[in-house]
Structure 1
Amino acid sequence: MFFILFISSILTWLVVRQYQKVSRLPPGPVSLPLIGNLPQILYYLWSTGSVVSTLDLFRKRYGNIFTLWGGPIPLVSIADYETAHEVFVKNANKYADKTNVPIFREMRNDKGVASTNGDHWQEMRRFALQTFRNMGVGKDVMEQNIIEELDARCADIDKAATNGVTTTQVSEFFDLTVGSIINSILVGKRFDKNSKGEFLKIKNALDNAFEFFTPMDMMLPVWVMKTFFKNRYNSLITMNDETTGFVAKEAESRYTKMKSGQYYIDENNIQDYTDAFLLKIQKDGEDKDFNIESLKIMILELWITGQETTTTTLISGFNQLLLHPEVMEKARAELMKITENGSRDLSLADRPKTLYLNAMIAEIQRHASILNVNFWRINHEPTYMGGHMVDSGAFVTAQLSALHINETVFEEPQKFDPERYIRDESLLQKVIPFGVGKRACLGESLARSELYLIFGNLLLRYNFKPYGKLSTTEVLPYSFAKRPFKLEMQFVKI
């Protein structure tokens, strides 16, 4: 009898405590002590068929700001632009801290910018942004580098053409184009015929790792993964180590030579991010922030984010254009007019005049919306968001995948319609694929330049036709991030 009473008392206390916590948060489905909403989440993932559709269902039921409990942790999702801007831009300093993803902490040892906080994150981000500015990212010098790389890849396409037509696996074309651009910025080397084989091998392995990396992997403690999901854990760690070894090989070589006096960096002739980082070490010595391990992790994180998001957007974009050839033709007509019938390359200086191309890219980014689940920020003090109380200790994010299909913001969100931004220019700022606030993607300027120049100049040079099937169906609907459709395409020389 005493045991039953004791258990009943514990359960009553847990239920009351859970109710008290729920009352200090935005609405959401009924949650249970300890396990939260995990049963409902799993059910709706199964019944709706994807992470994004599950989030959208909860948004429609509970409003643009809603709470889901990931076990004992409240997860507050914001799915409208105004609230996201108010929280993460107007109050940016309050929401600069990310949740510490256990598996990332294990891989990165609290270094880099992806999942660190505090002084180290601020120093690494500040240094990267300053270095990119010094290197001309977003300016004429970077535009020239992007065009030169595109020229090199187009030369390969033209060389392989039969009667002016080349059929290719689009992922390889864009992986090599974007990969060479980011690799040149980081370590001063592009992928040529001698190095592209190793790059594509690593890239394929990285794609495989992304394909089975799920939101659950972000939440589980490392000891749980090691104990119950050992093969999964080992695969992620191995992939991380192999990718780091590949992308940071040049940096390690320079560092070793610098330490032995065989490599000296001229501060008036900085060629890439690695040289800038090593110059800091050369002048001031190594410390807790600037050391070879930090450099390797920064190169890895910048390489992955610079590669994956842009490549995925380009592949998704051309898939959409092949499904909607009228959009492609309208954009090309605008570009031909701007560039005197294609007599010159499209330039970043043309942006103010290419209203339709800008709208087309925005719609591509809205549909691509790379992350199915965004990284969470920590709410350190009780505050109101969108008229709802959010207690301290809650994890908060702008859930971009749900925001970009919010029908109260984007009418008929499933429709691919660049004209929506012509009808209402204010919608352009509500497409936020790079995130908002202090934790927004630090490679945004480079990615925007790449997308504009690559989409625009390819439309000037080629007609495009599908080779095989087309689809907008989610390839991996339960993964952490979207994966591009396996697209084969014909490049037809204009």
Structure 2
Amino acid sequence: MFVILFISFILSWLVVRQYQKVSRLPPGPISLPLIGNLPQILYYLWSTGSVVSTLDLFRKRYGNIFTLWVGPLPHVSIADYETAHEVFVKNANKYADKFHAPLFQEIKKDRGVLSTNGDHWQEMRRFALQTFRNMGVGKDVMELKIIKELNARCADIDNAAVNGVTTTQASEFFDLTVGSIINNILVGKRFDKDTKREFLKIKNALDSAFELFTPFDMTVPMWVLKTFFNKRYSNLMTLNDETTGFVAKEADSRYTQMKSGQYSIDENNIQDYTDAFLLKIQKDGENKDFNIESLKTMIIDLWITGQETTTTTLISGFNQLLLHPDVMEKARAELMKITGNGSRPLSLSDRPKTTYLNAMIAEVQRHASILNINFWRINHEPTYMGGHMVDSGTFVTAQLSALHINETVFENPEKFDPERYIRDESLLQKVIPFGVGKRACLGESLARSELYLIFGNLLLRYNFKPHGKLSTEEVMPYSFAKRPCKLEMQFVKI
């Protein structure tokens, strides 16, 4: 009898405690003590078929700001632009700290910008932004580098053409183009015929890992992963070591030479991010922030984020253009008019005049919306969001995947319609693929320049046709991020 009473008391206490916690949060499905909403989440993932459709279902039921309990932890999702802007931009300093998956913490060891908070994160972000600014990211000098790399890839396409037509995998073309641009910025080297095969091998391994990587990996404690999923853990760690070794090989070599006196950096002739970082070490000595391990971690952080998101957006975008050839023709007609019938390349200075191309890229980014689940920020104090109380200790995020298909913001969200931004220019600012606030992507300026110049100049040079079946079906609907579909297409010289 005593045991039954004790168990009843514990259960009653847990239920009351859960009710008290729920009352200090935005609405959401009924949650249970300890397991939260896991049964509902798993059921709707199965019944709707994807992470994004599950989040959209909860948004429609509970409003643009809703709470889901993942086990005993509450997660508040914001799915409208105004609330997201109010929380993460107007109160940016309050939400600078990000929740980091235990696996990321194990890999990064409190280094870099992806999986750190506090002083180290601020120092690494500030240094990277300043270095990119000094290197001309977003300016004419960076435009020249992007165009130079695009020219090199187009030369490969033209050399392989048969009767003016080249058939190729979109992933290989864009991986090499974007990969060479970011690699040039980080370590001063592009991928040529001698190195591109090694790069593509590493990139394919990364793609396989991303396809396996799920929300489970982002939440499970490390002891569980090591004990019950040791092979999965070992594979992920090995892949990280191999990728870091590949992308940071040049930095490692320069560091060793610098320590032995065989390499010295001229502060008046900084060529890449690695030189800027090593110059800092050369002048001030190594410390907890600036050391070779931090440099290698920053290179892999910047390389993966700079490579993956832009490449995925380009592949998704050309898939949409092949499905909507009228959009492609309308964008090309605008570009031909502005560039004197293609007599010169498209430049970043043309942006104010390319209304339709700007709208097309915005619609591509809305549909691509890379992250199925956005990274969580930590709410450190009780506050109101969108009229709802949010208790301290809660995880909060702007759920971009749900925001970008919110029909109260984007009418007929499933439709690919660049014209929507011409009818209503205010919609442009509501497409936020790079995130909002202090944790927004620090490579946003570079990515925007790449997308504009690559989309625009490719449309000036080629007509594009599909080679095989086209589809907009998600490749990995249960993953934390979208994966691009396999797209083979033909480059037809204009």
User: When the two structures are superposed, what TM-score results if normalisation uses the length of structure 1?
Assistant: 1.00
1:440 aligns with 2:440: yes
Alignment match, 2:137: 137
Q: How does 1:58-457 map to 2 (within 5 A)?
A: 58-457=58-457
User: Distance between the aligned counterparts of 2:363 and 2:334, measured in 1?
Assistant: 17
Give the root-mean-square deviation of aligned CA atoms: 0.4
User: Distance between the aligned counterparts of 1:231 and 1:213, measured in 2?
Assistant: 14
Deviation at 1:227, TM superposition (A): 1.0
Deviation at 1:100, TM superposition (A): 2.2
One-letter identity of the residue aligned with 2:68: L
User: Distance between the aligned counterparts of 2:100 and 2:108, measured in 1?
Assistant: 11
Secondary structure at the counterpart of residue 416 of structure 2: coil
Alignment match, 1:9: 9
Secondary structure at the counterpart of residue 90 of structure 1: coil
Q: Deviations over 1:75-109 (max 9, x none)?
A: 00000000000000000000000012110000000
One-letter identity of the residue aligned with 1:488: E
1:469 aligns with 2:473: no
Identity %: 87
One-letter identity of the residue aligned with 1:77: S
Q: Deviations over 1:268-301 (max 9, x none)?
A: 0100000000000000000000000000000000
One-letter identity of the residue aligned with 1:477: P
User: Distance between the aligned counterparts of 1:154 and 1:396, measured in 2?
Assistant: 43
User: Distance between the aligned counterparts of 1:27 and 1:114, measured in 2?
Assistant: 30
User: Distance between the aligned counterparts of 1:179 and 1:483, measured in 2?
Assistant: 17
User: Distance between the aligned counterparts of 1:159 and 1:410, measured in 2?
Assistant: 43
User: Distance between the aligned counterparts of 2:100 and 2:5, measured in 1?
Assistant: 39
Secondary structure at the counterpart of residue 396 of structure 1: strand
Deviation at 1:370, TM superposition (A): 0.2
Q: Deviations over 1:112-146 (max 9, x none)?
A: 11121000000000000000000000000000000
Deviation at 1:233, TM superposition (A): 1.0
User: Distance between the aligned counterparts of 2:310 and 2:397, measured in 1?
Assistant: 22
Secondary structure at the counterpart of residue 114 of structure 1: coil
Deviation at 1:395, TM superposition (A): 0.1
Deviation at 1:28, TM superposition (A): 0.4
Secondary structure at the counterpart of residue 89 of structure 2: helix
Runs of 4+ in 1 over 3 A off after TM superposition: none
User: Distance between the aligned counterparts of 1:239 and 1:423, measured in 2?
Assistant: 46
Secondary structure at the counterpart of residue 366 of structure 1: helix
User: Distance between the aligned counterparts of 1:236 and 1:220, measured in 2?
Assistant: 14
Deviation at 1:235, TM superposition (A): 1.3
Deviation at 1:387, TM superposition (A): 0.3
Q: Deviations over 1:325-374 (max 9, x none)?
A: 00000000000000000000000000000000000000000000000000
Secondary structure at the counterpart of residue 465 of structure 1: strand
Question: Which deviates the most, 215-224 or 346-355?
Answer: 215-224
User: Distance between the aligned counterparts of 1:460 and 1:100, measured in 2?
Assistant: 43
User: Distance between the aligned counterparts of 1:9 and 1:111, measured in 2?
Assistant: 45
User: Distance between the aligned counterparts of 1:417 and 1:26, measured in 2?
Assistant: 33
One-letter identity of the residue aligned with 1:46: W
User: Distance between the aligned counterparts of 2:99 and 2:325, measured in 1?
Assistant: 42
Deviation at 1:444, TM superposition (A): 0.1
1:36 aligns with 2:39: no
Secondary structure at the counterpart of residue 166 of structure 1: strand
Secondary structure at the counterpart of residue 83 of structure 1: helix
Alignment match, 1:54: 54
Secondary structure at the counterpart of residue 76 of structure 2: strand
Q: Deviations over 1:221-271 (max 9, x none)?
A: 111111111111111111111110000000000000000101000100100
User: Distance between the aligned counterparts of 1:183 and 1:177, measured in 2?
Assistant: 10
Deviation at 1:220, TM superposition (A): 0.8
Alignment match, 1:481: 481
Please, which runs of 5 or more residues in structure 2 have no aligned partner?
none
One-letter identity of the residue aligned with 1:413: P
User: Distance between the aligned counterparts of 1:311 and 1:457, measured in 2?
Assistant: 16
User: Distance between the aligned counterparts of 2:460 and 2:284, measured in 1?
Assistant: 48
Q: Deviations over 1:140-173 (max 9, x none)?
A: 0000000000000000000000000000001000
User: Distance between the aligned counterparts of 1:238 and 1:81, measured in 2?
Assistant: 39
Please, which runs of 5 or more residues in structure 1 have no aligned partner?
none
One-letter identity of the residue aligned with 1:436: V
User: Distance between the aligned counterparts of 1:187 and 1:78, measured in 2?
Assistant: 38
One-letter identity of the residue aligned with 1:396: V
Secondary structure at the counterpart of residue 36 of structure 2: coil
User: Distance between the aligned counterparts of 2:229 and 2:16, measured in 1?
Assistant: 34
User: Distance between the aligned counterparts of 1:297 and 1:211, measured in 2?
Assistant: 22
User: Distance between the aligned counterparts of 1:167 and 1:197, measured in 2?
Assistant: 19
